[in-house]
Chain A
């Protein structure tokens, strides 16, 4: 063991003795587009791992987080180490790429990283036959705002095992798409007499910018390459797992601007094929009474891009509509959009409901279509007599929906069930605050919490001490003994001040008894301890001989003096006090 340790301890010395060198590799040196290679920088005989950033090469995509491995080997008594820093790299196009030379620093020395070459070739027929991805759009010429379905299809030959799929990911910002569906269509297809497993994602594309816009989808996955082998743990030949990125390639859509010149006034952005119908809930109306006008736009198109049709408000108060949409396909490209308006006739001379127009751009006809629903006749009765009237300020002030009073607007009177419009303004502002937003974590708040924390911790500590006094006899004796010593010491000092010899001697003896009594087990009271008990306790606690002798001498002298032998004079009490203090201090060191 010691020998092995000695050998290991010598390794760094042996490594230091060898020159550091750097070499690079790319494996494999030729890859097909979409496949990844490994760019590896190998540093020989270095103990420290230098920091390295991947090189920038046009057409190559490096993964920024490298994997680092270290190895140590001894051949013919020569030990060498190797640090490998590996970056996965994926060519983005066909060609020969030179990963340029670089430099790295190890312990202040600069070393050159040699250049290395990677070749990317088009996907060979073998790989092309194994898998591919397509983006199929039903149209390549469409209008801005027009929504068309599209299909992303990934073909994987049925004998290829694939997994760890990432994507498809959309590339291109000029077209918005619906999210990829959770339910992927999976099916089998035969292509050129080979069976393929096909994954199909259906999305809806909508260009948001005119011109030639590009869109592609990319997918990455692992697969077992049946033409490239590795060995497993038992040495058996197994298909190698590789990772590949497939791209549909850019699909160009010619996005046309919806014509501006022929745009009808009632066009609000609808592009598609629609039908339009409307229904008024009643034709017998009363001034001030609401009626519901329901409009339905059905068909196929960009339902999420157009708003409610405009309504001519002459004679009518029109409230913003309630809008509902009932989708008839997964992506909301087909369905029925319902606008439910509340209308209130303002005058009894209103004879017809507003004429309704809905315009949309039909991308197949490449023209605008306007559906007109003629004004339906209605009969408007005056408001019932005797109803309490309250002015509807909003109707009066905001006939055009802008909130501003306009010419020709008339006051509208509502029935007595209408809520009171205005409440009197406040003459007293109420409590002033610095701001609406309340700053919650303030210094006073934190301080208050700190006070609570300190108070709570104190209460808990007091409680814990109280409980320990109840259950821990030794602790209770220590606490009581210390308190008793303090009290008897005060009495002794008072006796010295008053020059009362007997009181001092009693207190001094009691101080020694209480000091020793803290280590006494059982119910023996400290006041009943005699000299032999104190000597024994000091000895048991391992007190130095000097301390035992000192305590014995003071106890004997004090006891003798108490009973009339060699009584100290009042003037000598100060010396006795100092002697007691010293003895107690030494005993404290033993018993505490």
Chain B
């Protein structure tokens, strides 16, 4: 094997293989316990005891996250008629496995049947939703190193000039695209779902504030900043106003919500 080929193989191996091995994060996970609770939830669901199913599934989320768990939890909420939590969990299922056809179809069905407007995401966000964020990051890192290698290696290995001529520009374009997608993915991190039907979008961050719109359960909103127990949000329709934190569920950060109801409410 020539030196050049060895270098190419080394770079490809290191920039893809080692990243893919290295990505999973280090939070605590107890798959056995999560599996047991998942199974218990499924039994309750089959017996049409949806309240118990919800409790088991919610408990299981304390020991691990999987798209199947969130999908089943969403269905249990849907069976109970709780559209907001159902949509929230379908969205969470999609965040774990962006291309699952069952989840995509269920989400579309529940939105249509609840009369909710379709959630039109921008093109970079739609592309970002095709893969998990960590996969995009691995791709961006691999493209960065490949681009850097193609840009610099010809300076010392003239045989790489051919590769640079044909592959550098496409790789740089792909890298720029990936960075745009990562940026769009970062913007998605605040995405939240209205949990209760007929939620009042307030003018001011007080419980007594007059309302400016009534939001249906399941509507996607984007918190912009906090004011005490309230969040200033922009809805997917472009309306802006205040919602209490307990009225929202964060898609990407389940630990942030819902919060306990306000005392004065």
List the interface of chain A (C-beta within 8 A of B): 144-145, 176, 208, 268-269, 302, 304-308, 319-320, 322-323, 342, 392-395, 397-398, 401-405, 419-423, 425-440, 442-445, 447-449, 451-452, 455-456, 459-460, 463-464, 466-467
Cα of A395 to Cα of B42 in the assembled complex, Å:
25
Q: Indicate which residue in A420, A434, A445, A455 contacts B19 across the interface (CB closer than 8 Å).
A: A445
* Minimum distance in angstroms from B265 CB to a CB of chain A: 17
Cα of A449 to Cα of B22 in the assembled complex, Å:
10
Are B152 and A460 in touch, CB under 8 angstroms? yes
Residues of chain B within 8 A of A427, CB atoms compared: 42
Residues of chain B within 8 A of A433, CB atoms compared: 24, 29, 64-66, 96
* Minimum distance in angstroms from B22 CB to a CB of chain A: 3
Interface check B230, CB cutoff 8 A:
no
Residues of chain A within 8 A of B47, CB atoms compared: none
Are B83 and A403 in touch, CB under 8 angstroms? yes
Residues of chain A within 8 A of B105, CB atoms compared: 419-420, 423
* Minimum distance in angstroms from B137 CB to a CB of chain A: 5
Contact with A along B169-196 (1 / 0, CB 8 A): 0000000000000000000010000000
Q: Indicate which residue in B79, B102, B239 contacts A393 across the interface (CB closer than 8 Å).
A: B79
Among B45, B156, B200, the most chain A Cβ lie within 10 Å of the Cβ of B156
Cα of A434 to Cα of B75 in the assembled complex, Å:
22
- Contact A435 to B27, CB < 8 A, known contacts A305-B210, A425-B45: yes
- Contact A423 to B14, CB < 8 A, known contacts A305-B211, A432-B64: no
* Minimum distance in angstroms from B97 CB to a CB of chain A: 6
- Contact A432 to B117, CB < 8 A, known contacts A403-B83, A442-B25: no
Q: Indicate which residue in A402, A428, A430, A456 contacts B11 across the interface (CB closer than 8 Å).
A: A456
* Minimum distance in angstroms from A130 CB to a CB of chain B: 39
* Minimum distance in angstroms from B202 CB to a CB of chain A: 10
Are B26 and A434 in touch, CB under 8 angstroms? yes
Residues of chain A within 8 A of B15, CB atoms compared: 452
Cα of A371 to Cα of B8 in the assembled complex, Å:
77
- Residue of A at shortest CB range from B15? A452
Are A442 and B22 in touch, CB under 8 angstroms? yes
- Contact A401 to B197, CB < 8 A, known contacts A307-B211, A308-B214, A435-B25: yes
Q: Indicate which residue in A393, A395, A429, A467 contacts B69 across the interface (CB closer than 8 Å).
A: A429
Q: Indicate which residue in A434, A444, A460 contacts B65 across the interface (CB closer than 8 Å).
A: A434
- Contact A456 to B148, CB < 8 A, known contacts A145-B210, A445-B137: yes
List the interface of chain B (C-beta within 8 A of A): 7, 10-11, 14-15, 18-19, 21-29, 31, 34-35, 38, 42, 45, 64-69, 71-72, 75, 78-84, 92, 95-97, 102, 105-106, 108-110, 112-117, 132-134, 137, 141, 145, 148-149, 152-153, 155-157, 189, 197-198, 200, 203-204, 209-214, 216-217, 237, 239, 251-254
Are B22 and A447 in touch, CB under 8 angstroms? yes
- Contact A460 to B156, CB < 8 A, known contacts A432-B34, A437-B253, A445-B137: yes
Among A144, A403, A427, A447, the most chain B Cβ lie within 10 Å of the Cβ of A403
Q: Indicate which residue in B35, B81, B116, B149 contacts A398 across the interface (CB closer than 8 Å).
A: B81
Cα of A181 to Cα of B64 in the assembled complex, Å:
52
* Minimum distance in angstroms from A540 CB to a CB of chain B: 33
Cα of A445 to Cα of B65 in the assembled complex, Å:
21
Are A463 and B68 in touch, CB under 8 angstroms? no
- Residue of A at shortest CB range from B83? A403
Residues of chain A within 8 A of B80, CB atoms compared: 397, 403
Are B21 and A444 in touch, CB under 8 angstroms? yes
- Residue of B at shortest CB range from A303? B212
Are A442 and B26 in touch, CB under 8 angstroms? yes
Are B27 and A434 in touch, CB under 8 angstroms? yes
Are A438 and B65 in touch, CB under 8 angstroms? no
Q: Indicate which residue in A304, A394, A397, A463 contacts B212 across the interface (CB closer than 8 Å).
A: A304
- Residue of B at shortest CB range from A145? B210
Are A456 and B145 in touch, CB under 8 angstroms? yes
- Contact A432 to B29, CB < 8 A, known contacts A403-B197, A421-B109: yes
Are B42 and A448 in touch, CB under 8 angstroms? no
Cα of A398 to Cα of B11 in the assembled complex, Å:
58
Are B116 and A466 in touch, CB under 8 angstroms? no
Are A439 and B197 in touch, CB under 8 angstroms? no
Cα of A348 to Cα of B69 in the assembled complex, Å:
41
Residues of chain B within 8 A of A302, CB atoms compared: 210
* Minimum distance in angstroms from B51 CB to a CB of chain A: 12
Residues of chain A within 8 A of B27, CB atoms compared: 434-435, 439
Cα of A318 to Cα of B214 in the assembled complex, Å:
14
- Contact A425 to B72, CB < 8 A, known contacts A444-B21, A448-B22: yes
- Residue of B at shortest CB range from A419? B109
Cα of A464 to Cα of B209 in the assembled complex, Å:
70
* Minimum distance in angstroms from A423 CB to a CB of chain B: 5
Cα of A437 to Cα of B191 in the assembled complex, Å:
12
Cα of A419 to Cα of B108 in the assembled complex, Å:
9
Are B253 and A425 in touch, CB under 8 angstroms? no
Are B253 and A434 in touch, CB under 8 angstroms? no
* Minimum distance in angstroms from A303 CB to a CB of chain B: 9
Cα of A429 to Cα of B33 in the assembled complex, Å:
12
Are B18 and A319 in touch, CB under 8 angstroms? no
Are B23 and A436 in touch, CB under 8 angstroms? no
- Residue of A at shortest CB range from B157? A463
- Contact A425 to B114, CB < 8 A, known contacts A397-B81, A439-B26: no
Cα of A466 to Cα of B133 in the assembled complex, Å:
40
Are B141 and A449 in touch, CB under 8 angstroms? yes
Residues of chain B within 8 A of A464, CB atoms compared: 156
Are A438 and B134 in touch, CB under 8 angstroms? yes
Interchain residue pairs with CB less than 8 A apart (14): A208-B210, A269-B210, A307-B200, A307-B214, A401-B198, A419-B109, A422-B106, A425-B45, A429-B34, A430-B66, A433-B64, A436-B65, A436-B254, A444-B23
Are A419 and B112 in touch, CB under 8 angstroms? yes
Residues of chain A within 8 A of B81, CB atoms compared: 393-394, 397-398, 402-405
The list of the 3 closest CB pairs from A to B, nearest first, reads A319-B115, A444-B22, A463-B156
Are B75 and A430 in touch, CB under 8 angstroms? no
* Minimum distance in angstroms from A314 CB to a CB of chain B: 18
* Minimum distance in angstroms from A89 CB to a CB of chain B: 34
Cα of A405 to Cα of B149 in the assembled complex, Å:
63
Cα of A342 to Cα of B97 in the assembled complex, Å:
33
Are B109 and A456 in touch, CB under 8 angstroms? no
